[in-house]
């Protein structure tokens, strides 16, 4: 997934467009897949019909009112009877104070570690 503005809401002045991208080798399969969008709120819940989340075609638009500092977005792409899952983070930089935790080991879990 990718966003043209990097997934950042600045001073409640913009929404974040999240676009999926699915490739099979060097062939773009984005338009051939179906997508399910979810946001994290104690567990992943469907974005469909929820205020602040708009699904247009394959794209998810996240409005400022849907984000309180940070929200994790999960996208499940279904293609050729297989499912592929990706995650994206949207940050609200409107808050006067923000803490970002960085790790020297990166931001990915590998083999549950």
Which residue from 54, 53, 97, 57 is spatially nearest to 71, judged by alpha carbons? 53
Indicate the helix (H) or strand (E) that contains 85. strand 82-92
Instruction: Report the alpha-carbon angle 47-48-53, nearest 5.
Output: 55
pLDDT tens digit sequence for 31-88: 999 999 999 999 999 999 999 999 999 999 999 999 888 899 999 999 999 999 999 9
Higher per-residue pLDDT: 6 or 29: 29
Global confidence as pTM? 0.79
């Amino acid at each position: 997934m990718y966003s043209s503005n990097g997934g950042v809401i600045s001073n409640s002045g913009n929404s974040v467009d999240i676009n999926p991208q699915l490739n099979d080798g060097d062939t773009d399969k984005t338009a051939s897949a179906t997508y399910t969008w979810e946001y994290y709120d104690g567990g992943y819940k469907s974005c469909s019909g929820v205020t602040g989340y708009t699904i247009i075609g394959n794209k998810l638009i996240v409005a400022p009112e849907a984000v309180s500092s940070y929200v994790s977005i999960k996208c499940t792409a279904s293609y050729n009877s297989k499912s592929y899952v990706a995650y994206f983070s949207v940050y609200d930089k409107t808050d006067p104070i923000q803490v970002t935790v960085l790790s020297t080991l990166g931001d990915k879990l590998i083999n549950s570690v």
